[in-house]
Amino acid sequence: MYDLLVVGSGPAGATTARIASERGLRVLLIDKRQELGAPIQCSGAVSGHALEEVGLSPEGEFVQEAIYGFSIYNQEGQKTTIDYRQLKPDEYGTGEGKKPLGYVVDRRRFDRYLMTLAERAGAEVWLKTEGPGLSTLPDGSCRVLLRRFNKELEVQARVLVGADGLQSQVGKWAGMRTHIKLRELASCLQFVVDGVETDGLLEIVTGHRWAPGGYAWVFPKGHGYAEIGLGVTRTMTRQNAQAHLEQFLKESFFKDRFKGLRILEIQGGGVPLAAPLRTQYADNLILVGDAARHVNPITGGGIHTALSGGKIAAHFLSELLAKGKKPSRQNLKGYQDRWLEERGNFIWKLYGEKSKIFKNKDISSRDEQLYQIMSGYFSPHSEYKKI
Ligand SMILES: Cc1cc2nc3c(=O)[nH]c(=O)nc-3n(C[C@H](O)[C@H](O)[C@H](O)COP(=O)(O)OP(=O)(O)OC[C@H]3O[C@@H](n4cnc5c(N)ncnc54)[C@H](O)[C@@H]3O)c2cc1C
């Protein structure tokens, strides 16, 4: 019997599996994909602090570009630049003893790296494995039916960790309400391009005209490449993300900058700009990462929150099981309480601010509010700096 069966080897699941294994638990980590992180559905921006917090170093194996700050634009192109190379020149930069603020990572390599660390820490990893069902046993453990390389088999575990992303099924097995409302889901599309210059900054473009209910971005991707993308909320526009992205390329204040670009890859996916799930646990089960909506509801960033959620889950579960306590619904509530205390209450606060902005029917004042909150969010004095 395993202590933990972790479903999904993204940043949340692989981190839970690694840290729980390091703390002595017997862990099985499964993922339905045969190649982790592929197809890529992420721009890969993550802060150095997020990596540090879970004991990771920015390895060349997955880092594509170093990031030193942000430029936030309003719809017309007016910008606020927060460049840590200028704000804190002794700490951030390329010279000796200096460091980047964050990174753009390659999610294929990053996810594989995180999975490898989990495996090296002692977790068993099965790829191309899905779990179609769950039942609770009288001894307080659970039995999960798995399909591995098209063969069905059963596995017994004390706790099931659902780290299976935005479209999580694990919570549904236990009858949890994991449905996401269309008005809280950003539909995202990005092009990886050649021929667009960048300067170590994450550029974020707000404004209803370009990205209703979301924002557009230009991120450096390394080797002279860039990512240009946007997310839109489909209840706020009749057009899909592709139409908005084409419009942004052709009509925005960046149109001259984008003139010579060549598209190398097209990537897309959904981002929950939603509140965390109100209940992230059931008997023998917890959810972590996107599956629990551990996402920043303003930026849509979910790598940091997935990593830190994985760490919180692994610490909580290893302590609970070490005390010989049953992973009952009642006891697993402690996981959510700890998550709220360490991270979730900030996310709820951000969600409140986001909701207030998007309830505003006056588009120009809403645009102004979004521009202000984004600029404030990335400022060095932001109370949210660490999420
Ligand atoms: C276009 C786009 C751009 C983004 N850019 C950024 C960004 O720049 N920075 C940032 O911080 N965040 C970004 N995000 C969000 C970020 O990608 C997610 O929040 C993050 O990946 C969540 O990690 P996770 O581990 O919870 O889930 P995931 O990374 O989604 O991992 C879930 C894993 O579970 C597996 N799985 C699913 N179902 C099953 C099943 N039934 N059985 C077994 N395995 C299963 C999947 O194969 C997958 O490997 C972006 C998202 C999109 C769509």
Is 128 touching ligand 1 by the criterion CB < 6 Å? no
Residue 142 confidence (pLDDT): 84
Nearest CA to ligand 1 atom 37: 164
pLDDT tens-digit map of 212-269: 999 999 999 999 999 999 999 999 999 999 999 999 999 999 999 999 999 999 999 9
pLDDT tens-digit map of 167-210: 999 988 888 888 899 999 999 999 999 999 999 999 999 999 99
Q: How many CB atoms lie within 10 A of CB 283?
A: 18
**Domain presence at residue 363:** no
**Contact predicate 271/188, CB 8 Å:** yes
The preferred substitution site among 16, 43, 339 for testing ligand 1, maximizing ligand atoms within 8 Å of CB, is 43
**Contact predicate 247/210, CB 8 Å:** yes
Is 313 touching ligand 1 by the criterion CB < 6 Å? no
The ranges of the chain with pLDDT < 50 are: none
Is 7 touching ligand 1 by the criterion CB < 6 Å? yes
* Structural domain ending residue among the three candidates 272, 303, 322: 272
Residues 127, 265 within the same domain = no
Query: Ligand 1: distance of its center to the CA of 172 in Å?
Result: 18
Nearest CA to ligand 1 atom 53: 269
**Domain presence at residue 159:** yes
> Tokens at residue 123, please?
């977790």
Nearest CA to ligand 1 atom 15: 302
* Structural domain ending residue among the three candidates 272, 288, 314: 272
d(CA 68, CA 82) in angstroms, rounded, equals 9
Structurally, the chain folds into a number of domains equal to: 2
Residues 289, 350 within the same domain = yes
Residue 132 confidence (pLDDT): 65
Residue 383 confidence (pLDDT): 76
Residues 169, 118 within the same domain = yes
Is 9 touching ligand 1 by the criterion CB < 6 Å? yes
Nearest CA to ligand 1 atom 10: 301
> Tokens at residue 310, please?
């994985």
The preferred substitution site among 6, 164, 173, 267 for testing ligand 1, maximizing ligand atoms within 8 Å of CB, is 164
Ligand 1 atom closest to 166 (CA): 30
Q: What's the domain range around 142?
A: 2-37+106-180+275-354
Residue 386 confidence (pLDDT): 59
Residues 148, 92 within the same domain = no
Q: What is the CATH number of the domain that holds 95?
A: 3.30.9.10
Query: Ligand 1: distance of its center to the CA of 165 in Å?
Result: 5
Residue 175 confidence (pLDDT): 86
Is 45 touching ligand 1 by the criterion CB < 6 Å? yes
CB proximity list for 275: less than 8 A, separation 6 or greater: 184, 293, 297, 347, 348, 351
**Domain presence at residue 72:** yes
**Domain presence at residue 218:** yes
Query: Ligand 1: distance of its center to the CA of 261 in Å?
Result: 28
In this structure, the dihedral spanned by the alpha carbons of residues 190, 195, 199 and 205, taken in order and rounded to 10 degrees, is -40
Residues 267, 220 within the same domain = yes
Query: Ligand 1: distance of its center to the CA of 167 in Å?
Result: 9
* SS3 state of residue 186: strand
Residues 234, 337 within the same domain = no
Residue 387 confidence (pLDDT): 54
**Domain presence at residue 372:** no
Residue 385 confidence (pLDDT): 66
* SS3 state of residue 121: coil
Pick from 288, 306, 287: nearest CA to 296: 306
Nearest CA to ligand 1 atom 38: 164
Cis amide leading into 138 (omega within 30): no
